[in-house]
Amino acid sequence: MIYKDRKDAGIRLAEKLMHYRNKADVVVLGLPRGGVTVAYQIAKAIQCPLDILIVRKIGFPGNPELAAGAVSETGTVVLNDDIVSGYGVSREYLERETARQKNEIARRITLYRGGKGVPPLAGKTVILVDDGVATGATVKAAISTLKQEGIAKLVVALPVASREAEREIASTVDEWICLQTPAGFMAVGNYYYDFTQVEDNDVVAMMK
């Protein structure tokens, strides 16, 4: 299945989340930037508040799209050990790249939330949404962050994921909802006709 765009993916995913509609303790968290567009459609369909959790990929040297790890806005760092040890990624590189991504996170917190941190999530059911998952490093960092926030239940909702990511992540959350895990997974963008980059002003508009 190939989605028309992220809006289409969000509408289809929302159909699998209608059991959360109008529940007072539910919050939908999108991972900026692409995941926010999907999350926006879900929040609208199930009539629950939308917010974001800012997580940045720590790119592999020379190939920033390949995740050596990820860092969240609360400072949680998750490394992709297979890639880091398998390719001998240096500690100095990881520290430097982590610091650079933390600067970008600080910029986005100011822009998206006016400098405020993660919203109060204790006791909430959190539906964590992205536009797709390849290695899973970003989502793993988000999950680690949320588990420290005292939430009641964690649901991960995705339009598409690799089978490897599903194997590693599904058992670590309370509910895993993924519309497809295709064989021979290559890249998230392959499952969208329109995978245009979501811009900062798009995220700001959806947050409003």
The per-residue pLDDT for range 179-193, each reduced to its tens digit, is 999 999 989 999 999
Average pLDDT over the chain, rounded to whole?
A: 94
The per-residue pLDDT for range 53-103, each reduced to its tens digit, is 999 989 999 888 788 888 999 888 888 888 898 889 999 999 999 999 999
- The CATH number that applies at residue 88 is 3.30.1310.20
What mean pLDDT do residues 38-50 have?
98
Same domain (yes/no): 76, 102: yes
Residue 65 pLDDT: 78
Domain with 77 in it: 57-112
Residue 82 pLDDT: 85
Q: Is 34 in a helix, a strand, or coil?
A: helix
Tell me the pLDDT band of 118, cut-offs 50, 70 and 90: confident
Residue 94 pLDDT: 95
Pairing mode of beta strands 50-52, 175-178: unpaired
Same domain (yes/no): 121, 107: no
C-alpha gyration radius of the chain: 16
1 domain-assigned? no
Smallest CA-to-CA distance from 132 within 175, 105, 169, 77 is with 169
pTM of the shown model: 0.91
In DSSP notation, 108-158 reads: HHHHHHTT--SPP-TT-EEEEE-S-BSS-HHHHHHHHHHHTTT-SEEEEEE
d(CA 33, CA 199): 7
CB half-sphere exposure, 70, CA atoms < 13 A: 24
Residue 208 pLDDT: 86
- The CATH number that applies at residue 147 is 3.40.50.2020
* pLDDT at residue 49 is higher than 90: yes
Same domain (yes/no): 132, 194: yes
* pLDDT at residue 148 is higher than 90: no
Tell me the pLDDT band of 126, cut-offs 50, 70 and 90: very high
Total domains in the fold of the chain: 2
